[in-house]
């Protein structure tokens, strides 16, 4: 029996997801609008796992709860990758650009240890 190599990069995961969707003729449903709605739904499901927990409880999940959270996070990642494929957006490039923007918006010497949003800082 031949074992299938699992994807270990965003590009490989994207190709795997594309094949998965095409085999099931699901691309017709994977419009940007539908994928964003699915992404929002999965985010809500992730939120449910943390609703009503204390800060301490949220940081010390049981093994079973952590596995459930991991699967919700995976669902979010998968929908996000499908959306990026449908919109032809390179997530790695976009993420690196966003980090560079945030480095300018939130300079270390101004924000270290402070959780306020950029627009809340006095210039």
Q: Where are the domains of the chain?
A: 10-112
- pLDDT score of 115: 85
10-residue stretch averages of pLDDT, the chain, 123 residues long:
75 94 96 98 98 97 98 98 96 96 92 85 68
3-class secondary-structure state, position 50: helix
For 19, 92, 97, the CA distances from 15, given in Å and listed in that order, are 6, 15, 23
Are the C-beta atoms of 21 and 27 separated by less than 8 Å?
yes
The whole-model pTM stands at 0.86
- pLDDT score of 117: 82
Burial of 83 (0-12, 13-18, 19+ CB in 10 A): buried
- pLDDT score of 120: 83
| Of 21, 6, 1, the residue nearest 79 (C-alpha) | 21
- pLDDT score of 123: 58
- pLDDT score of 7: 84
**Pairwise CA distance, residues 104 & 87, whole Å:** 27
Handedness of CA 91, 21, 41, 77 (dihedral sign): negative
Out of 1.10.10.10, 1.10.287.1080, 2.60.40.1170, 1.10.357.10, the CATH code matching 10-112 is 1.10.287.1080
């Amino acid at each position: 029996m031949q074992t299938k190599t699992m994807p270990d990069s965003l590009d490989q995961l994207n190709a795997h997801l594309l094949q998965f969707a095409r085999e099931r003729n699901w691309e017709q449903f994977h419009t940007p609008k539908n994928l964003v709605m699915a992404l929002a739904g999965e985010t809500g499901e992730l939120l449910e796992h943390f609703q009503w927990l204390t800060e301490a409880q949220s940081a010390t999940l049981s093994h079973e709860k952590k596995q459930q959270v991991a699967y919700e996070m995976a669902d979010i990642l998968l929908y996000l990758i499908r959306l990026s494929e449908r919109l032809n957006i390179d997530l790695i490039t976009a993420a690196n650009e966003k980090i560079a923007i945030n480095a300018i918006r939130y300079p270390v010497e101004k924000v270290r240890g402070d959780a306020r949003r950029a627009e809340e800082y006095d210039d």
